[in-house]
Amino acid sequence: MKEIGHDAKKFFDLRDFLINVKNYEEAVNGFKWPRLTKFNWALDYFDKMAEGNNKTALIFADTNGYEEKVTFDDMRKRSNRVANFLNDLGLQKGDRVMLMMDTSVEIFELFLGIMKAGGAIIPASTLLAPADISDRIIHGDVKYVIAHHPYTPRVDQAGEALSRLKGLICVKPEDENCECENQENIPCWINYNDHLSYDTTFESSFITFSTDMLFLFFTSGTTSKPKLVMHPHHYPVGHLTTMYWLDLKPDDIHYNISSPGWAKFIWSSFLAPWNAGCTAFTLKYTQFDADIVLNMMEKYKITSLCAPLSVWKLFGNKDFSKYNFSLKKMVSAGEPVNPEISKIAKELTGIELREGYGQTETTAMIGTFPGMKAKPGSIGKVAPGYEVKILDAQLDEVPINSDGQICTAIYPVKPMGLLTAYEDTNRNKEIFKGGWYLTGDTAYRDEEGYFHFVGRVDDVFKSLDYRISPFEVESEIIEHPAVLEVGVIPTIDEKERIVPKAFIVLNSEYTPNKKMALDIFRFIRDNMAPYKRPRSIEFMDEFPKTISAKVMRKDLRAYDKELKKEKKKGEKEFLENEFARELNLRKRK
């Protein structure tokens, strides 16, 4: 290993501390954010760790039987080629590069190569329409777009925005060329394979300061237009808390089920595994298939799994006993996990499913950490390096077991994983107040210090003078075996009262019809308190979602509002009072 710089050594020391720490209390008491002035994670940490390291860094597989294994040293050399290639194309320090790519070996070497070359990375969903691509290029001040070849036609349709670019790079199989139509002021597509002719050694011509911009995420909120979240070069240091929450060790093979277009992929597929020096596994598929995924987990001896609630719901009806898994640890994030799913996961694997909480704007800031007792319905305790409180609108701490907003202290020490800011001055005034970062999420903390998620501040509503948490209602409805996903919003009943409405996506083996609606209404009446029972349910084929796979309740509310305006019901909507006889309902006043 080459000589490690002074600032990089602080990172190595903190990393080693968390890998070897014995328990949560020791981690919290011994963890202190380092002061870093000059730091480039790819150059100062990854290359030092990777040089001469023939351990497998990445396993890539797809559903067609293709696989590729890359060692740490090979990844170092590959990303050096990429950095030289990008610099030769004119990429300068601070230039923003948007990636519209599937999971692949290339995206990992690009992450590292762009970091080395001085660029700032903007991950983008492969589902973006041309208008969305145009908007991101303009508002993100993008200089380069790199896309897998199936998505280049949509980039080509982004119109005038392309004239702002310095370069377009197309990632295609080695034996194919990139199409290019000569258009005035719009760059031609360059074949990414050209980087293969560049040298495998790289020397940086500039200093990377820890506060230089590194990742910029467009976060599609549930209540507003996409916001650009800015993270600097010390952002990977912040993901030491994520590494600790995942409980990753150098001998792990870690699989994170997510797509490259959002921050969770950077969290758990890229930075956290390589912070630990372990192997990252990634699987490319056109459509998620639980049986294929489980077979792959067995084949590649996955020891550590990070999967969201929706995946665990799909795993729930599978026979895990027929697999010879190597699993040692499992976590879930992105969607709050209800106790029933945690119970199912434990029954299937014999392993505790630990939950965690963070945002595109943060790293893992709350979690059920290694060795900690898991508490049903709780997202865990505060991560090392974070100070988190539940505050009211006046930024006063609320009593134990009382709802308030999750807030993180940014004074006197700001956690390294926390965003620098949004590229929106007015929005920054809303989230940074009085030495706190306001997450916009509601929770309460119990007497043991465990946090319990309630919902987005904007999503909680009152019905018949009762406070309703959509997440709480959703957690109870999803226990019905037919329900795959559920989203709850406030609606207006026939007497102009605010009541809950549940939108439901069923598991594939169930049919959305009147009989199914009655079965779910019976389940609701048998298992839920009267004040929070949905008075209507509407079946949907799929939900409108953000790029981070969260249900966009604002779109559901807008759709329902339009129905009410037109005095109509949804095509597959059923009202509780339509089943008055079957449910033995008393006439409501």
Residue 451 lies in a domain: no
**Alpha-carbon dihedral sign for residues 190, 195, 197, 198:** positive
**380 and 520 in a common domain:** no
Identify any residues that bridge with 391 across adjacent strands, giving them in sequence order. Answer: 397, 405
What pTM was estimated for this model as a whole? 0.85
Distance CA 446, CA 71 (A): 45
Largest CA-CA distance found in the chain, in angstroms, rounded: 78
Residue 132 lies in a domain: yes
**498 and 355 in a common domain:** no
DSSP SS3 for 186: strand
**503 and 468 in a common domain:** yes
Output the CA–CA distances (angstroms, integers) from residue 412 to 33, 241, 269, 372, in the order listed.
Answer: 12, 19, 31, 28
Residue 35 lies in a domain: yes
Structure tokens at 211: 């506060």
Please state the three-class secondary structure of 534-557 as a single string: CCEEEECCCCCECCCCCECHHHHH
DSSP SS3 for 176: coil
**348 and 292 in a common domain:** yes
- The last residue of one of the domains, among 419, 445, 471, is 445
What's the CATH number where 362 sits? 3.40.50.12780
**524 and 412 in a common domain:** no
**Are 401 and 446 in contact, with CB atoms under 8 Å apart?**
yes
**362 and 275 in a common domain:** yes
Residue 455 lies in a domain: no
Low-confidence ranges of the chain (pLDDT < 50): 222-223, 588-589
For the chain, what is the radius of gyration of the CA atoms? 24
pLDDT at 587: 55
Residue 452 lies in a domain: no
Distance CA 352, CA 347 (A): 9
pLDDT at 548: 52
Distance CA 552, CA 544 (A): 6
pLDDT at 465: 64
Residue 453 lies in a domain: no
**129 and 79 in a common domain:** yes
**499 and 355 in a common domain:** no
Distance CA 133, CA 100 (A): 9
**Are 142 and 98 in contact, with CB atoms under 8 Å apart?**
yes
Domain containing residue 108: 6-445
User: pLDDT tens across 465-498, in order?
Assistant: 677 878 788 888 988 999 988 989 889 888 778 8
pLDDT at 588: 47
Residue 425 lies in a domain: yes
Query: How many independent structural domains does the chain possess?
Result: 2
**Pairing mode, if any, of strands 304-306 and 253-256?**
parallel
Task: State the Cα torsion 426-430-433-435 to the nearest 10°.
Answer: -90
What's the CATH number where 502 sits? 3.30.300.30
**Are 472 and 456 in contact, with CB atoms under 8 Å apart?**
no
Q: Show contacts of 329-332: CB within 8 Å, 24+ apart.
A: 329/246, 329/247, 329/252, 329/303, 329/304, 329/305, 329/354, 329/370, 330/304, 330/305, 330/306, 330/354, 331/245, 331/246, 331/305, 331/306, 331/355, 331/356, 331/367, 332/306, 332/307, 332/308, 332/356
pLDDT at 460: 75
**90 and 205 in a common domain:** yes
User: pLDDT tens across 234-257, in order?
Assistant: 999 999 999 999 999 999 999 999
- The last residue of one of the domains, among 410, 445, 480, is 445
- The last residue of one of the domains, among 413, 445, 477, is 445
**Are 118 and 92 in contact, with CB atoms under 8 Å apart?**
yes
**186 and 47 in a common domain:** yes
Q: CA-based angle 525:526:528, to the nearest 5?
A: 65
**491 and 379 in a common domain:** no
| Residue type at position 29 | N
pLDDT at 219: 79
Cβ-based neighbour number of residue 354 at 10 Å: 25
Structure tokens at 343: 């119970």
Residue 105 lies in a domain: yes
**469 and 368 in a common domain:** no
